[in-house]
Amino acid sequence: MAPELRDAENNSSPRPLSDKESVAVVGGSAAGLFTASLLARQGILVRVFERIETLQPDERTLIVTDRMRALLGRAAQKSVVNEIRHFELFTDGRAATVTLKHPDLIIERRTLIQALAEEAQRAGASIELGRRFHALHPNGRGLVLEIDRCDDGTREEVRADTIVGGDGASSRVAHAAGWAPLETVPLVQAIVPLPKDMRPDTARVWFVPQDTPYFYWLIPESPTRGALGLIGETGPETRHHLEKFLEKRKLDPIGFQAARIPVYKRWVPVHRPVGKGSVYLVGDAAGQVKVTTVGGIVTGFRGALGVAQAILNRGSRELRTLRRELDLHLLLRRSLHDFQQADYSRLVDLLNAPAKRSLADYSRDEAWKILWRVCLSQPRLVLLGLRGLLSRSRSLRRTSL
C-alpha cells in the first residue's frame, strides 16, 4: 500500500506540480529512488540520473527498524536477509539483554536499491545510468541540469521544473543550489564468521568510549556470518580500532565495507527556490540521519515521503514530524557523547525490567515514546543523561574559550 501523500498544512512551499510538469532526481540512492517512485505513482514525469553505469552499488550490510516494511511494502522484503529479536549490550564486564517486540531487519543495501529501482520503473519513472550531474541553473520556465555522460564525456542539458538531490552526504546538487556542506564521519565494518556462542537472531553492542563516542556492533546476516563495525571520527584511526577489536575477539575478517555518513547537527531545510524552479534534498544529502546510531535508511525514506508530499501538495506533516524526531536524537546524542566507561557501566546497571520493556516495545524511530516511558520507569537514567548534557556543555564552553 502506498504511503499517504495528501497533506496541505504548510503553505511555505511552492505551488504543487501538475501531472504535465517534470521532476529530475539526481542520485540513485535509496531515498532518491523512493522519492521517484512516490512521484511517478501520482502521474508526475520523473527522470532519475545516476552516475554508476550498472545498478550494482557497493554492498553494505545494514540494520534497520521494522518501520521500513510499512513504508516500502514488497520492495523492503526483497532486501531482508535476517531478523534480529534480541540485543546484547556490553560494557566493562557488564551485560544486559533487550528482547524486541518487533524485530529489527538486517538488509543488504545493493539488493534494496535494486528493488527500489524496479518499483520506480514500474511506477513510470525513467532511470538513466552513467549520467553524472555537472551543474544546474534557472531558465525562463524552470531549471536546466547539465548532465555528463560517463561513457563518452558528452554533456546534455535537461529541463525540469523541480530537482531532487538524492546524491548522498557530499551532494553536488546541494552545493550547486547553495546549501552548506555537511560534516561526515567514517563507518567501517568487517564481514566475519559468526562466533559459535552467538545466535543469528541476536545483535551485540559494545560501548568502548576510548575508541569511539558511538559503539561497536555485530549484526548477524546469516547463521554463519555477520558484520562487525563502528563509527569513528577519522578514517585511519577508525580502521585501526576495528582491526584491534577484531584481533581481541579472535575474528578473521572475510572482507571490509566502508562509507562516509553525515552527522546531524541541526535541521537542514529541504527546499530552495532557484529562479522559477525548486530544488529539494532527501536522505543523506539532507543529513536525515539519527545521530544516536548514525542510521539513515528509514529516516531517509521518511524524508523522501515528506519531500513528495511537499512537491505534490504544498506542505508536509511528515517533514515536521521527522524534524522533531531528529532533534530529539540530537539531544540524546549530546547527553551521551562524552560518556566514559563508568557512565556506560552505570547505564547498563540502571536498565531494570520496566526500562528494558520500554526499549523493547518501541523502536529507535519512536524516540519520544521511549524517552517518556524510561522517564517513568527509571528516572535515574534521565539524571544520568542530564549529567552527560551538563558535562558536554562545560566541555564546549572550555573549547570556545
Compute the CA torsion angle 31, 33, 38, 40 (nearest 10 deg): 160
The last residue of one of the domains, among 317, 352, 380, is 317
d(CA 351, CA 205): 15
Least confident of 155-164, 275-284, 322-331, 357-366: 357-366
Question: Same domain for 196 and 256?
Answer: yes
Question: Same domain for 239 and 146?
Answer: no
Question: Same domain for 51 and 129?
Answer: yes
pTM exceeds 0.75, yes or no: yes
Domain that holds residue 382: 330-395
Residue 27 lies in a domain: yes
Task: Find all residues with CB under 8 Å of 138, minimum gap 6, and list them.
Answer: 144, 274, 275, 276, 277
Residue 344 lies in a domain: yes
Count how many domains the chain has: 3
d(CA 286, CA 267): 8
Q: Do the strands 202-206 and 80-91 form a parallel or antiparallel pair, or are they unpaired?
A: parallel
Question: Same domain for 280 and 252?
Answer: no
Selected residue with higher pLDDT from 345 and 9: 345
Task: Find all residues with CB under 8 Å of 369, minimum gap 6, and list them.
Answer: 358, 361, 362
Q: At 179, which amino acid appears?
A: W
d(CA 230, CA 217): 6
Q: What is the CATH number of the domain that holds 51?
A: 3.50.50.60
pLDDT the model gives residue 374: 55
The sheet that has 162-165: what strands, in order across it? 126-129, 45-50, 22-26, 162-165, 277-281, 271-274
Residue 176 lies in a domain: yes
Q: At 46, which amino acid appears?
A: V
pLDDT the model gives residue 338: 80
For range 355-373, the mean pLDDT: 67
Q: What is the CATH number of the domain that holds 200?
A: 3.30.9.10
Question: Same domain for 350 and 280?
Answer: no
C-alpha cell at position 212? 569511539
d(CA 309, CA 313): 6
Residue 50 lies in a domain: yes
Question: Same domain for 39 and 158?
Answer: yes
Q: Where are the beta strands (DSSP E) in 10-120?
A: 22-26, 45-50, 61-64, 80-91, 94-108
Residue 150 lies in a domain: yes
Question: 531532487: which residue's cell?
Answer: 164
C-alpha cell at position 9? 498544512
pLDDT the model gives residue 2: 47
Question: Same domain for 270 and 136?
Answer: yes
Residue 235 lies in a domain: yes
Question: Same domain for 141 and 51?
Answer: yes
Residue 380 lies in a domain: yes
Question: Same domain for 336 and 224?
Answer: no
Question: Same domain for 209 and 301?
Answer: no
Residue 10 lies in a domain: no
pLDDT the model gives residue 131: 96
pLDDT the model gives residue 116: 96
Question: Same domain for 283 and 373?
Answer: no
Most confident of 76-80, 224-228, 344-348, 350-354: 224-228
Contact 132, 147 (CB under 8 A): yes
pLDDT classification of 76: cutoffs 50, 70, 90: confident
The last residue of one of the domains, among 262, 291, 306, is 262
For range 179-190, the mean pLDDT: 96
d(CA 1, CA 369): 26
pLDDT the model gives residue 397: 41
| Cα dist from 302 to 32, 107, 177, 185, 366, whole Å | 11, 17, 22, 22, 13
| Cα dist from 86 to 189, 199, 217, whole Å | 20, 9, 13
Compute the CA torsion angle 341, 290, 323, 398 (nearest 10 deg): 40
d(CA 248, CA 216): 13
Q: What are the residue ranges of helices labelled H in 99-153?
A: 109-123
d(CA 286, CA 270): 6
Question: Same domain for 150 and 240?
Answer: no
* Position 14 pLDDT exceeds 60: no
Strand partners, 88: 97, 204
The last residue of one of the domains, among 240, 262, 284, is 262
